[in-house]
Amino acid sequence: MMHKIKYTDLAKKDLHNLKKTGQNKKLAKIKKTIDKLAANPRHPGLHTHKNNSVENPFDVESFQSYVENKTPGAFRIFWCYGPDKSEITIFAVTPHP
């Protein structure tokens, strides 16, 4: 099942700031990661695990998936399922805290 991706205002701002600062390579990696996430949140390359480091704006279990690994300031996508069964909401796209 392909999940529909939704974004919170904070996630949209995170992506806008990357675009504004000309980080096109980073944005391309993020897009590729989001495509994998939509297709299969358990894709092994995402290294998805429960989120315990970034505050979740929803009262549900949340996760983080790797955009990069073993890179200084490696980016992560923070997300949760919902609000509908077939949806994933991304609430932050940031360097690993």
Identify the residue with better confidence: 83 or 97: 83
pLDDT at residue 28, rounded to an integer: 96
Range with lowest mean pLDDT among 12-16, 19-23, 30-34 = 19-23
31 within some domain: yes
Q: What is the pLDDT of residues 40-65, one digit of tens each?
A: 999 999 999 999 888 888 889 999 99
48 within some domain: yes
Domain of residue 67 covers 20-95
88 within some domain: yes
Q: Does the pLDDT of residue 97 top 80, yes or no?
A: no
13 within some domain: no
The number of domains in the chain is 1
CA-based nearest residue to 89, from 28, 11, 32, 29: 11
For the chain, helix, strand, coil in percent to 5 are 30, 30, 40
10 within some domain: no
12 within some domain: no
pLDDT at residue 71, rounded to an integer: 84
Confidence class of residue 78 from pLDDT cuts 50, 70 and 90? very high
45 within some domain: yes
